[in-house]
């Protein structure tokens, strides 16, 4: 099989490769240069596969660099991006491994950043944090390890109290029993554990309701 024509595409940096006078495949300029391809070169099926594979891998890496440049991403988010761009499974695994080894993706670091960010924006309980992290495709092992490390019982309780104090200002027109009921539902909806909520509500309401 012989290359009979190499022509630039309308898309900058891309080239069409014709073999035996028929269009065969498109590649980026970097691939063209790397393999030193030129008219009248003889190619085997194996060589064509190697060229296409190299081209796809480099395209996937560039796509990943761009995707990660905007903000920190999880491994699963990058994997989804590559899958949606039709990158082969084999090259996705190569790209994921490359970016993991060079610390461009790090789920442990991502979890820590998200926990700090989420709690500082609007305090939320462990359950809600876990649910949000699971949506990002992070493993349960990493989530549980990070939650236990960065969200102690004292921090969890302090976050719940902060939310409760703000919420009570909104519902102060209601009778105490009604305030307690609404506060319970609110804190549970914000992801706090039953025991944490019960203890805090006792502290706030028992003395006032006696």
Judge if 53-105 and 153-209 fold alike in CATH terms. Answer: yes
Helix ranges restricted to H, the chain: 29-35, 45-70, 75-84, 89-101, 107-121, 126-135, 140-150, 153-170, 176-189, 194-209
Q: Write the CATH number of the domain with boundaries 1-43.
A: 1.10.10.10
What are the structure tokens assigned to 86, written together? 């039709």
- 117 pLDDT band, cuts 50/70/90, is confident
Predicted pLDDT of residue 91: 96
Predicted pLDDT of residue 27: 92
Predicted pLDDT of residue 207: 56
- Rounded distance, CA 120 to CA 72, Å? 18
17-28, pLDDT tens digit by residue?
Answer: 999 999 999 999
63-107, pLDDT tens digit by residue?
Answer: 999 999 988 899 999 999 999 999 999 999 999 999 999 999 999
Q: Structural domain boundaries of the chain?
A: 1-43, 53-105, 107-150, 153-209
- Rounded distance, CA 53 to CA 27, Å? 10
- Rounded distance, CA 125 to CA 184, Å? 13
Single pTM value for the model: 0.76
The pLDDT of residue 197 is above 70 = yes
The pLDDT of residue 13 is above 90 = no
What's the whole-number average pLDDT of the chain? 90
Read off the pLDDT of each residue in 151-179 and give the average, rounded to a whole number. Answer: 88
Q: Is 131 helix (H, G, I), strand (E, B) or coil?
A: helix
What are the structure tokens assigned to 136, written together? 């990002």
Read off the pLDDT of each residue in 9-38 and give the average, rounded to a whole number. Answer: 91
Contact 101, 93 (CB under 8 A): no
Residue with tokens 């069409």: 16
123-132, pLDDT tens digit by residue?
Answer: 888 898 899 8
Contacts of 53 (CB under 8 A, 6+ apart): 88, 91
- Rounded distance, CA 11 to CA 71, Å? 27
Read off the pLDDT of each residue in 182-195 and give the average, rounded to a whole number. Answer: 92
- Rounded distance, CA 187 to CA 45, Å? 63
Predicted pLDDT of residue 208: 54
Q: Hey, what CATH topology would domain 53-105 get?
A: Arc Repressor Mutant, subunit A (1.10.10)
Cα Rg, the chain, nearest whole Å: 28
Burial call 32-59: b when 16+ CB within 10 Å, e when fewer: beebebeeebebeeeeeeebbebbbbbb
Predicted pLDDT of residue 151: 84
How many CA atoms, within 13 angstroms, populate the side-chain half-sphere of residue 126?
Answer: 22
Considering the segment(s) 153-209 as one domain, its CATH architecture is Orthogonal Bundle (1.10)
């Amino acid at each position: 099989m012989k290359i009979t024509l190499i022509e630039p595409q309308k898309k900058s940096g891309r080239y069409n490769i014709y073999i035996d006078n028929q269009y065969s495949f498109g590649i980026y300029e970097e691939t063209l240069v790397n393999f030193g391809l030129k008219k009248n070169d003889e190619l085997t099926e194996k060589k064509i596969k190697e060229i296409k594979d190299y081209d796809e891998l480099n395209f996937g890496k560039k796509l990943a660099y761009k995707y990660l440049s905007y903000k920190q991403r999880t491994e699963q988010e990058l994997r989804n991006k590559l899958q949606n761009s039709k990158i082969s499974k084999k090259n996705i695994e190569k790209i994921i491994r490359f970016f993991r080894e060079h610390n461009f993706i790090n789920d442990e670091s991502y979890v820590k950043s998200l926990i700090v960010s989420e709690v500082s924006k609007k305090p939320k309980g462990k359950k809600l944090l876990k649910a949000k992290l699971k949506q990002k495709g992070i493993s349960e092992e990493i989530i549980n390890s990070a939650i236990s490390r960065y969200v102690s019982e004292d921090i969890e309780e302090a976050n719940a109290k902060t939310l409760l104090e703000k919420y009570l200002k909104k519902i102060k027109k209601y009778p105490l029993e009604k305030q307690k009921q609404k506060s319970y539902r609110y804190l549970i909806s914000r992801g706090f554990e039953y025991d944490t909520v019960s203890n805090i509500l006792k502290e706030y309401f028992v003395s006032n309701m006696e």
